[in-house]
Amino acid sequence: MTKAPFVTMTAATAVLGTALGSLALQLRADGYEQYVESVATFSVLMYVTAALVVVTWVRDGRRRQSG
């Protein structure tokens, strides 16, 4: 695969993770404690997804070089 889909997906999920992290902080500041854990968990999930996309990109590049 080309580089573009991996970069786009990584950037999109990292931006979403950052936005959700900011939302979690704002929810805590506004007193909506019952939602903070769920939003923060989803934020971390987005960062993990971004990291896994990068791992997939690296593995795809190695496969193309060796084969």
For residue range 29-46, what is the model confidence (pLDDT) as tens digits? 999 999 999 999 999 999
Name the pLDDT band for 62 (thresholds 50, 70, 90): confident
Domain ranges for the chain: 3-65
With a CB cutoff of 8 Å and minimum separation 6, the contacts of 21 are 40, 43
Report percent pLDDT > 70 for the chain.
94
Q: Kindly tell me the burial class for residue 54, based on how many C-beta atoms sit within 10 Å of its own C-beta (0-12, 13-18, 19 or more).
A: middle
Amino acid 64: pLDDT = 72
Other C-beta atoms within 10 Å of 13: how many?
19
Helices (H), the chain: 3-30, 33-66
Q: State how far the Cα of 39 lies from the Cα of 64, in Å rounded to an integer.
A: 38
Whether pLDDT at 49 is above 70: yes
